[in-house]
Copies of this chain bind each other. A is one copy, B any other.
Amino acid sequence: MTQMIAQTFDVKGGPHMGRDNLPKLREALKALSLDGFLVPHEDEYDNEYLPDCNERLLWLTGFSGSAGAAIVMQDRAAVFVDGRYTFQVRDQVDGDLFAYESLIENAGAAGWLERNGRSGERVGYDPRLHSPDAMDRFQLAASRAGVELVAVDQNPIDHAWTDRPAAPTAQIIPHPDYLSGEAHTSKRERIGIALQKGRADAAVITAPPSIAWLFNIRGGDVSRSPLPLSSAILNADGTATLFVAPEKISDETRAHLGNEVSLRPESEFAAGLAEYADKTVRVDPASASAWVFDTLTAGGARIQKLDDPVLLPKAAKNTTEVEGARQAHIRDGAAIVRFLHWLDTEAQSGEIDEIQAAQKLESLRRDLPELRDLSFDTISGAQGNAAFAHYRVSEASNLKLARGSLFLVDSGGQYPDGTTDITRTIPIGDPTSEMVTQFTRVLKGYMALARVRFPKGTTGTQLDILARYPLWQAGFDYDHGTGHGVGSFLGVHEGPQRIGKAPNSVALEPGMIVSNEPGYYKRDGFGIRTENLQVVSEATPIAGGERDMLGFETLTLAPIHRGLIDVTLLSPDELAWLDAYHLDVRTKLTPLLDDITAEWLRKATEPLYGATP
C-alpha cells in the first residue's frame, strides 16, 4: 500500500471541468427526457473519502471540497457548499455556469429546488447516492414546486464521463485477531444476538468501516483509510453475506472469512436484498441509501429504521485495540518528536515552506516500517493560512514558516495496530504576547477536557464546554467541534460519539477513542490548535469520593511547546498535569530516539511548575 502514501500538492479541479462537462451531462439528460439532475458529493458508500471514479461532483463542477452538491437543469445550475468552502468554490467553479449557494442555509439544495423548480419539470436522481432522509426533503420540495423527481437506474454522469476511472480493486486482507482482539465469528454472533433482541431477522451493513470491523478485514480502495468498498447483510444467527468484487478476495481472505460468510459479487446486492421478503431488516438511514430502502420495500421486507448495529461495538475498543493504540502512538510520537526537533532548529530559519514541512513529516513517518498510510492529508499551515482550520496546502497557497509567526501542523498515520491524529502549534522565532496568551487559553481548555472525570451516561455534548470555557470567558471561540471518534486502523473520523456543541446523545463508554482539539484562529493572523487523542478509561473510584467516575487516558505523546505557555495563567493543578504528561512523553519516547533528539526532548519536557515566568 505504501506507494499511495505520498501527498500531492497540486490543485485539483477548477472551472475548466464544469465548462467541459456540464454540457455533456445536459446531453445525457436529454436522452433520458430529464429536465435536471441532483448531484450529491457522496457516493454509495457514504464515506469521507471517495475513489476517483466516484468524484462525480468534482467532474461536473470542478469543485474539490469534501462536502457539497449541485443541481443541474437544462438552462440553469447551482453548486452548494458550506461555510468552509465559500472562497474555494469561487476559485474552482465557473460562476457563469453555476450559481453559488449555501449547502446549509435556505434549506440547502432542497430549498433551491423548491424556489427554482418549475411546475412540470422532471428532475432525475440516483437513489444509491442519497439518504432516505435527504430524499424526503427533496420530495417535499419538489411537490411544492410541482416538480417530478425521477429515480434513474444508471447514473447519467457515469454515461457522460467517458474517461471515468475504473472502480478500485485493491486486495482485501485479513485483520488478524492479535490486532482486532476478537474473532469475526464472535463479533457476528454477538451482534446477531443484539438483532434477535431487537426482533430483527437481519441487518444491512453498508458503511465500509463497519464491514471492515465486523469481518476483521482491511482494504485499500480509497486513500487515507483502509476500507474495503463493499456491502453486507448480517443475519440474526450470525451468518452473513459479503457483496464484494471477487477480484479483491485472495484465497487467504476467503479462508479467513470461513463458511459462515457467503461471498457474492456486489452486482448481486439487489438480488440479495430481495431475499428478505416478510423478514424484518434493520437498516441505518444515516448510512444506507434510499436505494437500499426502496429495494428492501419492493422485495417485501419489513424495515427497522435503526442505527447500524456495528457502530457502538466498533467505537468502544477492546483491550487489545487500546493497547495497539498505545503502541502506535509511541511509534508515531517518536516520528513527531523528530519533526518537532527539526522545526525547533532548521525550520527556525524562516526559509522552510509549508510543503517542505509536510514532506519532512511524511518522510519521518515513512521511515517507520509499520506505517501503512497517512490517516489524512497533512494540514501544514504557516502564518495566516493556519487561520483556516481545515486548510490544505497547495503549490498556489504555499507560504514560508516566517519568523515571528506560528506554524500549525495537524497530521496522522495509519498503522496496523492503530490510527493517530495529532496537532501541534510551534513558534517560528519569537511569538507575540497575544500568541502566548491565546495558546495558553486553548491549552487550559484542552487540559480541562483531558483531566475531566465524569459519570456513566455523560455525552460529548456535555463535555464540550470544558474546552471552550477559557476562550469564552475572554470573548473568543472556535468554529469547529472539539473532538471526533477515531478508528482502530480505520477512519480517523469515526462516530457515533462526538465532542462538540451539536447535540449528540451517545454516552462515552470505556474504550472509545476521541480527539481533544480546541483551537483559536485569528483571521489573516495566525492559527492555534493543540490536539491529542485520548481513550475513555473504565469507571474507577476517586480517593475520598463516593462514585466511580470514567475518565480519559491520553494516548498521543509529544511535547506541547513551552515557548507558547504563560505559566502565570495556569493553576497549580494544571501545571502538575502538564508536567506529568511531559514526563510520560519523555519516559516513553526517549528509548526510541537518538541522543541529540533525546536531549532536545529532555529540554522540551522540563517541568514548568515553579518555572520562572
Contacts and interface: CB of A to CB of B under 8 A. Distances in A.
Interface in A126-156: none
Interface in A446-498: 448, 451-455, 457-459, 461-466, 469, 472-477
Number of copies: 2
Given A465-B462, A571-B571, A541 B501 contact: no
A454 B472 contact: yes
B544 A462 contact: no
Contacts of A541: 475
A178 to B, nearest CB: 36
A544 B453 contact: no
A546 B476 contact: yes
Contacts of A404: none
A505 interface: yes
Given A461-B461, A462-B501, A547 B452 contact: no
A545 interface: yes
Contacts of A464: 462
Nearest to A545: B475
Given A461-B462, A505-B503, A474 B571 contact: no
A396 interface: no
Specify which of A465, A474, A505, A546 lies most central, judged by the most chain B CB atoms within 10 Å of its CB. A465
A473 B461 contact: no
A461 B460 CA distance: 11
B455 A472 contact: yes
A542 interface: yes
Contacts of A505: 503
A476 to B, nearest CB: 6
A544 B465 contact: no
A549 B472 contact: yes
A31 B448 CA distance: 65
Contacts of A451: 473
Contacts of A459: 503
Nearest to A573: B473
Interface in A244-294: none
Given A452-B469, A503-B505, A475 B547 contact: yes
A384 to B, nearest CB: 16
Contact of A501 (B457, B545, B547): B457
Contacts of A455: 472, 477
A360 B115 CA distance: 66
A140 to B, nearest CB: 13
Interface string A386-407: 0000000000000000000000
23 contacts: A452-B469, A452-B472, A453-B475, A454-B465, A454-B472, A455-B472, A455-B477, A457-B501, A461-B461, A461-B462, A462-B462, A462-B501, A465-B465, A473-B542, A474-B542, A474-B544, A475-B545, A475-B546, A476-B545, A476-B546, A476-B547, A503-B503, A571-B571
Given A462-B465, A475-B543, 20 more contacts: A451-B473, A452-B473, A453-B472, A454-B465, A455-B472, A455-B477, A459-B503, A461-B462, A461-B503, A462-B462, A463-B465, A465-B465, A466-B469, A474-B544, A474-B545, A475-B544, A475-B546, A475-B547, A475-B548, A571-B571
Report the 9 A-B pairs with minimum CB-CB distance, sorted nearest first.
Answer: A475-B545, A475-B542, A462-B465, A453-B472, A474-B545, A453-B473, A454-B472, A455-B477, A475-B547
